[in-house]
Amino acid sequence: MLGFIIRPPHQLLSLLLCPGLRIPRLSVLCAQPRLRPMAVSSSSWELPLVAVCQVTSTPDKEQNFITCAELIREAARLGACLAFLPEAFDFIARNPEETLHLSEPLGGNLLGEYTQLARECGLWLSLGGFHERGQDWEQTQKIYNCHVILNNKGSVVATYRKTHLCDVEIPGQGPMHESNSTIPGPSLESPISTPAGKIGLAICYDMRFPELSLALVQAGAEILTYPSAFGSVTGPAHWEVLLRARAIESQCYVVAAAQCGRHHEKRASYGHSMVVDPWGTVVARCSEGPGLCLARIDLNYLRRLRQHLPVFQHRRPELYGHLGHPLS
């Protein structure tokens, strides 16, 4: 599989992405093909291409949509079948009160704009963490952190509400109390079939709980996605390590779209959006600042790896229980 680093869309030049192409000072850089533990028979240009978008959301919902739409259109132009947006792609507020004020139901105006965008571009969208006013909004006055999948017709085909809320206090990073405004989701969702493969849905802090990824892979997931807004202290220490660990132990591709930069005076995010293959190799990553990276998903490679290293057949639940029960 080939990975590509893509600069912000307004800087992109109209040229073909070619494996091994190295052109200094241009905005499109192609990674050299990586060595693999096993030969891959698929032609790389026949494999589905996914785009991972990196943004800096602010409390300005209209401007955030303009930024995300620009990246999505560029992903479509470059031939991607699916574009991933990070957690809080809609906005990042200054406080819980502003978060609740800016939130919308799934049937609101903002999701309507993304529905139209998906149809316009003919692209599947992973909307990584929407501030959703659920059906219980009137009773609870709290929201859900909802991962939404739209197909290329603009239909909602899957939703997952974040089950592990980030209530932590990290020295140097500032406190995070997600439960002040958010309700944890009640369940995991079965992996959804997409043109890139079967995707298991998760969000950010969920990556610290391997039981979730194991349950998703036992339910058929081939790609795990962790849209995120990682902090500036935990990011350098844990971000890549956790993503590669989830890929290796689950033998899945991992796609992680991330927030980056300073959102407002109270908050900043680490960035470093990436795609990790089932061997644990980072095959694509974003550079600094908003932009996108591209990667091809090779499911034949995934299946061969699972065949040669059949860890799920070697598990001993009678010794340590089921770490992640298969979804019913």
Task: Cite the active site residues.
Answer: 87, 162, 204
Could you tell me the two tokens for 261?
Answer: 């930069």
Short-list 255, 314, 313, 308, CA closest to 39: 308
CA angle 19, 20, 25 (to 5 degrees): 110
Could you tell me the two tokens for 109?
Answer: 């105006």
Short-list 126, 161, 166, 158, CA closest to 140: 161
Q: Give Cα separations from 245 to 99, 219, 280 (angstroms).
A: 32, 19, 7
Burial 261-297 (b: 16+ CB within 10 A, else e): bebeeebbbbbbbbbbbbbebbbbbbbeebbbbbbbb
